Amino acid sequence: MRAPLRATAALAGVALLSTPALAQQPGTTRNTVELGIDAAAVFGLGSTSSVDITLPGSRARIGFFMENRKWSIEPALGFGYHEREGDDGVFSYDLELGALYHFRPFAVVTTDGSNQVLVRARSTYVRPFVGITGFTGGDNDDSEVSAGAGLGIKIPWQTRAWWRLEANAGYGFDNEAFRLGAIAGLSYFIR
């Protein structure tokens, strides 16, 4: 089980390191970066049903918009550690890579030649993703690769702070479980 985990971790690391370079190719306009944190609820439907609710934040994410502002590449990660007296600690992780397609691209207005302001308009998106979740410690280690897609909306709250709501569905390949999820998050846009 450790070989797939190492390969996936290496792939996630390469994606995290290469994404800024992809978003800032020479000759392109300055791109917007979306920083965010999400609370989540996931319902597993399979041979073993499950419910996971994480508040106030289950993961952090960073999105890099492409020049056309319709696409963004978004790595996300979440970590946790749980230990009880008399038991070994368990480290949990959630690594994900998504690509958001915005049906209405974000428009940027230059106010004084240097400051850029996002136009305040709702934006719906679709987000295909792949990820790996798992835990290590205690009596054993386990990880699982999953894939899915989400449909969501970004709603302006302040000029650079937006709410983000998403419903998604995914499939875990190891335990052959279909999952339904909901994400409520807050995004902050820079650049």
List pLDDT tens digits, range 50-67.
888 888 788 999 999 988
Answer whether 63's CB lies under 8 Å from 73's CB. Answer: yes
- Across the range 78-93, mean pLDDT stands at 82
Above 70 in pLDDT, residue 95?
Answer: yes
Residue whose C-alpha is closest to residue 60's, from 80, 77, 81: 77
Domain count, the chain: 1
The top-scoring range by mean pLDDT among 86-95, 137-146, 169-178 is 169-178
Q: What is the pLDDT of residue 83?
A: 78
- Across the range 124-151, mean pLDDT stands at 91
Burial per residue of 99-110, b for 16 or more beta-carbon CB atoms within 10 angstroms, e otherwise: bbebeeebebee
CB-based contacts of 84, cutoff 8 Å, min separation 6:
none
- Across the range 108-116, mean pLDDT stands at 53
Please count the helices (runs of H) and the strands (runs of E) in the chain: 1, 10
Q: Read off the CATH number of the domain in which 71 is found.
A: 2.40.160.20
Q: What is the pLDDT of residue 85?
A: 73
Cα Rg of the chain, angstroms: 18
Q: What is the pLDDT of residue 61?
A: 96
Q: What is the pLDDT of residue 22?
A: 39
Q: pTM score, two decimals?
A: 0.74
- Across the range 94-122, mean pLDDT stands at 72
- Across the range 24-35, mean pLDDT stands at 58
Please give the residue that has the higher pLDDT: either 17 or 105: 105
Cα–Cα distances (Å) from 138 to 58, 83, 86, in that order, read: 21, 9, 11
Share of the chain above pLDDT 70, in %: 75
Q: What is the pLDDT of residue 13?
A: 52
Please give the residue that has the higher pLDDT: either 79 or 26: 79
In terms of residue numbers, what domain contains 25? 2-190
Q: What is the mean pLDDT of the chain?
A: 79
Above 60 in pLDDT, residue 42?
Answer: yes
